[in-house]
Amino acid sequence: MESRRHSRSSFIATRASSVCRLLSLRLLLLHLPLCLAPWLHSASCRSLLQEGDAAVDTIAMVTPDADAALAREALQLRFNSFVQRYGKVYSSPEEHAYRMEVFKENLRLIEESNNYETYELEVTEFTDLTWEEFQKHFLGAKQDCSATTGSYVRRLGNPTLPARRDWREEGIVSPVKNQGHCGSCWTFSTTGGLEAAHAQATGSMVLLSEQQLLDCAGGFDNLGCSGGLPSHAYEYIIYAGGLDTEEAYPYKAKSEKCHFNPNAIGAKVFDVVNITEGAEDDILEAVALVQPVTVAFQVVDGFRFYKSGVYSSPTCKSGPETVNHAVLAVGYDVDKESGTPYWIIKNSWGPNWGNHGYFYIERNKNMCGIAACASYPVVTKGAAQSA
C-alpha cells in the first residue's frame, strides 16, 4: 500500500512539474508577438525565442508519457515560436494546421537523426515545407556534369599540401548570400568562385550579379531558377566579356529579360578549369594551393536542417547525373574528435542557416557526388596554360 502511495505521489509530482513548465512556457510565448520585424533580430528577442525553444525541448524530455493533449499543446507552442522566428504567414487556418503537421513530421526526422548521427540537425526556416516543396523551390533539376570534364586540368605535380586551408582567413571569400525561392544555387556558386578569384588577384572584393546569369546565360545550357552549372556559367562570362556588379544588376530571384551592361562589369573570366569528374584529390590540390572551387552535390532530405558537424549520408548518390545543388568549397580540415576529414562549404541559403551559412561534408569519399562537377575560373590571362 505504501509503495502504491509513493508511486501515485511520484506520478502527481511529475505531472505537476510538467504542467508548471507548460504554464511557464505559455507565459513566455505570450511575449513572442512583440518580436516582429524589425525587432525580431534584436538581442532581447533572440534570447526570448531561444528560451522558448529550450523550454519546449525540456517539456519533450521530461514528459515522454504525457497525454496527447499535452503533447499537442507543446507542439503548438513550438510551432508558434517557429512562425514568429521566421515571420511565416499562412493564407488560412487550414493552411496553418497543415503546415503544423508538416512541421511535426520534419521535427520527428530531425530528432531521429540527432539520436544516431554524428552531425546535428535543427529546426530551420524550411521546417514547414514538405521535401517535394523544398526540392521545387530551392534545388535545381538534376544535372549531368559529364560535360564539365575539361580538355586540360591544372596540375601542380605532387606538392606538399597544408594540413588545413580556409580561404575565409585570407579575406577573399564574400559574405554568404540567400538565393530565396529560386533554384539559382548555380549562380551563387559561380559568383562566389569569381568573387574570390577576383579578390585574390586584385586585393579588392567586388560583389557580382547572380541576376545577370539568371537572365542571360540560358544559351549555355542553364535553366534559370530550374538549375544550371557553374562551369557553363563561367563559359558564358567569357563569351559576354564579363559579369556586372551586384549593385548594377541586383538579384530578384526570378528570370527576366537580359539587361547586361558592359559598362558595369565587376570582373572578367579568361578561362575555366574543369577538374576531372570524381578526382577529389585534384580538388584538394586546387583548394589548397590555388583558390576556392565551385562544386555540386546531391541534396537529400534532412540536409536542409543541418546545424553543425561533419555531414554524410548513406542515401545520397555520387554520380554526376544526380547532383542538384551547387556550392563553393572554401577550405578543408580534419575533425579533431573523430579524425574525419571534411570540406568547408559555403552555401547560398543565408547566413542564419547551418554554421553561419556554411557546412562541413565528409571528404575523400566523393560524398553525395561532391567531386563530380568541380571547376574554377581563371581571372589572369595565360594563368591556366602556363601552369
> Are 141 and 43 found together in one domain?
no
Q: What angle do CA 217, 221, 223 make, to 5 degrees?
A: 70
Q: Strand 243-244 vs strand 165-166: parallel, antiparallel, or unpaired?
A: unpaired
136: its cell numbers? 521545387
> Are 175 and 294 found together in one domain?
yes
Q: Look up 347 and say whether it is catalytic.
A: yes
128 belongs to a structural domain: no
Spot the catalytic one: 35, 45, 182, 185. Answer: 185
> Are 144 and 290 found together in one domain?
yes
> Are 203 and 347 found together in one domain?
yes
114 belongs to a structural domain: no
> Are 315 and 382 found together in one domain?
yes
Q: Look up 325 and say whether it is catalytic.
A: yes
> Are 213 and 309 found together in one domain?
yes
161 belongs to a structural domain: yes
Q: Which helix (H) or strand (E) holds 106?
A: helix 93-116
79 belongs to a structural domain: yes
> Are 21 and 170 found together in one domain?
no
> Are 156 and 38 found together in one domain?
no
126 belongs to a structural domain: no
Spot the catalytic one: 198, 225, 325, 373. Answer: 325
pLDDT tens track of the chain, all 387 residues? 444 444 444 434 444 444 444 444 444 444 444 343 344 445 554 555 555 555 545 444 444 554 677 788 889 999 999 999 999 999 999 999 999 999 999 999 999 999 999 999 999 999 999 999 999 999 987 766 754 444 445 555 667 899 999 999 999 999 999 999 999 999 999 999 999 999 999 999 999 999 999 999 998 888 899 999 999 999 999 999 999 999 999 999 999 999 999 999 999 999 999 999 999 999 999 999 999 999 999 999 999 999 999 999 999 999 888 999 999 999 999 999 999 999 999 999 999 999 999 999 999 999 999 999 999 999 987 555 433
Give, in order, the Cα–Cα distances in Å from 220 to each of 50, 139, 236, 240, 328. Answer: 46, 19, 6, 11, 20
CATH of the domain at 357: 3.90.70.10
Output b/e per residue, 227-236; b: 16+ Cβ within 10 A. Answer: bbbbbbbbbb
Q: How many domains in the chain? A: 2
30 belongs to a structural domain: yes
> Are 162 and 85 found together in one domain?
no
Spot the catalytic one: 225, 347, 366, 373. Answer: 347
Q: Which domain holds residue 22?
A: 2-89
- Total-model pTM: 0.82
Which domain-ending residue is among 89, 116, 149? Answer: 89
CB 375 within 8 A of CB 283: no
Q: Look up 185 and say whether it is catalytic.
A: yes
> Are 202 and 336 found together in one domain?
yes
> Are 53 and 158 found together in one domain?
no
> Are 147 and 16 found together in one domain?
no
120 belongs to a structural domain: no
